[in-house]
Structures are given as C-alpha cells and as structure tokens.
C-alpha cells in the first residue's frame, strides 16, 4: 500500500471515529466544517485526495490537530499496562487502596481502577467534569455508594452506572473488606 493510501485510510478511520464520538451525522459535520457531504463521504471511505484546506476545516470542526487527523497510527492497536505500571493513587487510613490500572488519552478518556476498602474506610470524591460517567462492579463485600446525597448498597456481584459529575463517595460500612472495579469515562 502506498504512503498516500495509508494516509487516506488513517484520515478515514479518524474522521469516522471522531464523528461517532461527537454523535454527529455526516450532514452535521459537513455544516460545522464548511465542506460538502460528498467530500466527507469520500474522506470516510478513504477515496479521493482532499486538499489541505479541506483537511484543516475537518480537523478544526472535530477539535483535533491536523497532525492527529493524518497520522497513520496515532497509538498502537494494543497498549499494555503491566503490573509494574499500575499506580496506587489513594491510600486509606487502614490500608485500603485505589489503584489506577490503565487509562486512555486524550479526551474522551477512560480509566480502569481497582479498589480495596478496609472496614470503616470511606473515599470521598468531588464532582468530575460535566458529562463524566462511572461504572462500578463489586467483586467482594458490600459497598455503600453515595452519589449527590443518595446512598445505595451494592452487594458482591452487583454493577452500577452513575454520574460522576456530582459529589460521590465509596464506603465500607461492614466488618469485611470490599473490593471493586471502577471505570471512569471523562467526555
């Protein structure tokens, strides 16, 4: 495959992905970028040879640099986070931990966490940026999840999705350890 074809495929993949993340139709992106829908169809199919002006308008509309738009591969297909790259970012008073296992960047970003709360420990969190969502799965014990003043009790095996753009807290009100996995999606 020629370099031009590789770039065309990269642009197609990136435009499709970013348009999907924004939830925009082809018509909406065309209007925001000031290009025709036909030009976008060609871009997303990897056809044609768009001029620099068109690529700049599309990258501006999507909120990314031109470099990001035309990079053949902006990151590996699989990015590994072996155990020695996991980072403990919270330590409770009785030995609990909040460990960041992996994360993506730039926004929208996704983080994967492993949490251990010892009996009586509480992890309070301020509200994240608007639109943040969190997904939690309790593996062991009983977790008390408090979101914006509303408390729920989650037993082992329970999963929940909640808004992270409000004050929230994870607590262990029992005499046994609580272990849970948490995913955070920042828009």
pLDDT in tens, 111-152: 899 999 999 999 999 888 889 999 999 999 999 999 999 999
CA 144, chain centre distance (Å): 24
Q: What six digits make up the tokens of 130?
A: 């608007």
Q: Are 37 and 26 contacting, i.e. CB atoms less than 8 angstroms apart?
A: yes
pLDDT at 151: 97
| Best mean pLDDT range from 56-65, 98-107, 163-172 | 163-172
Cα distance between residue 73 and residue 36, in whole Å: 26
Q: What is the pLDDT of residues 47-83, one digit of tens each?
A: 877 777 788 889 889 988 777 777 766 567 788 889 9
pLDDT at 2: 73
DSSP 104-146: --SSSEEEEEEEEE-TT-EEEE---STT-EEEEEEEESEEEEE
Cα distance between residue 47 and residue 166, in whole Å: 45
pLDDT classification of 23: cutoffs 50, 70, 90: very high
Answer whether 0.75 is exceeded by the pTM: no
pLDDT at 75: 61
Cα distance between residue 39 and residue 54, in whole Å: 9
pLDDT at 7: 78
Task: For 180, list phi and psi in degrees, rounded to 5.
Answer: -145, 155
Region 97-107: mean pLDDT is: 82
Q: Is the pLDDT of residue 187 over 90?
A: no
């Amino acid at each position: 495959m020629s370099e031009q074809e590789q770039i065309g495929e990269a642009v197609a993949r990136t435009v499709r992905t970013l348009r999907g993340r924004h939830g925009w139709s082809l018509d909406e992106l065309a209007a925001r970028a000031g290009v025709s829908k036909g030009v976008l169809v060609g871009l997303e199919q990897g056809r044609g040879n768009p001029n620099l002006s068109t690529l700049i308008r599309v990258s501006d509309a999507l909120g990314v640099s031109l470099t990001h738009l035309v990079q053949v591969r902006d990151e590996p297909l699989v990015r590994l986070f072996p155990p020695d790259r996991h980072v403990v970012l919270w330590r409770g008073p009785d030995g609990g931990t909040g460990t960041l296992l992996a994360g993506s960047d730039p926004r929208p970003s996704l983080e994967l966490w492993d949490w251990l709360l010892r009996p009586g420990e509480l992890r309070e969190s301020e509200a994240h940026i608007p639109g943040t969502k969190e997904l939690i799965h309790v593996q062991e014990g009983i977790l008390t999840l408090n979101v914006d003043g509303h408390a729920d009790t989650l037993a082992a095996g329970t999963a929940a999705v909640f808004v992270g753009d409000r004050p929230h807290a994870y607590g262990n009100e029992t005499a046994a350890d609580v272990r849970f996995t948490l995913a955070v999606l920042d828009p």
